[in-house]
Amino acid sequence: MEIKIEPAKKEDARRLLEIYTPYILNTAITFEYTIPSVEEFAQRIENTLINYPYLVAKKDDLIIGYAYTSAFKSRAAYDWAVETSIYIDMRYRGLGIGKLLYDELEKITKLQNVLNMNACIAIPDEGSVIFHKKMGYLEVAHFHQCGYKFDKWYDMIWMEKIVGEHILNPPKVIPFSLLGYFN
């Protein structure tokens, strides 16, 4: 199966929302309760792409998954850390699409001078934990009963992957929109 990885466009919002909707309605993988509008989702994509990569995986021109990074925290001291997110079309899970997206995301993140990649995972979501462990992430925090969805409390863990050396006076993080990675 040949998969192409490329940056998302706001025009992809409808398809990405088709992938995301089952996660909202049927899982605690996202703690979002309501399905955003296509317009809101397109705005999220556009806003993310200013500073961070937002990637799609395509098979025969059909988007089958997406992944992106976002600010870990809004304070400047956290610029060298990002939060990762990934969603794969339910029909294509377990086929290595997530690995392809995360590998590309990590390459870009390193070029941006980001040093820490962090993933927030609801527990129990064993599949996501196993995936992140295989990708080199380690569990660094566990929060108890902090998310409520489907009439149930969920624990949350943070997993982290260090992708660069933490030196004094690190180079500034380069916004994705200025990186020129896909040019």
- Residue 163's contacts (CB-CB under 8 Å, 6 or more residues apart) are 106, 109, 110, 114, 115, 116, 117
pLDDT of residue 160: 99
Does 159 map to a domain?
Answer: yes
Does 181 map to a domain?
Answer: no
Does 34 map to a domain?
Answer: yes
Does 183 map to a domain?
Answer: no
Q: How far is residue 162 CA from its own chain's centroid?
A: 16
Does 182 map to a domain?
Answer: no
Does 179 map to a domain?
Answer: no
pTM of the model as a whole: 0.96
Range of the domain at 131: 4-174
Does 59 map to a domain?
Answer: yes
Does 60 map to a domain?
Answer: yes
- Going residue by residue through the chain, which has 183 residues, state the pLDDT in tens, using 9 for 90 and above: 799 999 999 999 999 999 999 999 999 999 999 999 999 999 999 999 999 999 999 999 999 999 999 999 999 999 999 999 999 999 999 999 999 999 999 999 999 999 999 999 999 889 999 999 999 999 999 999 999 999 999 999 999 999 999 999 999 999 999 999 887
How many domains is the chain built from? 1
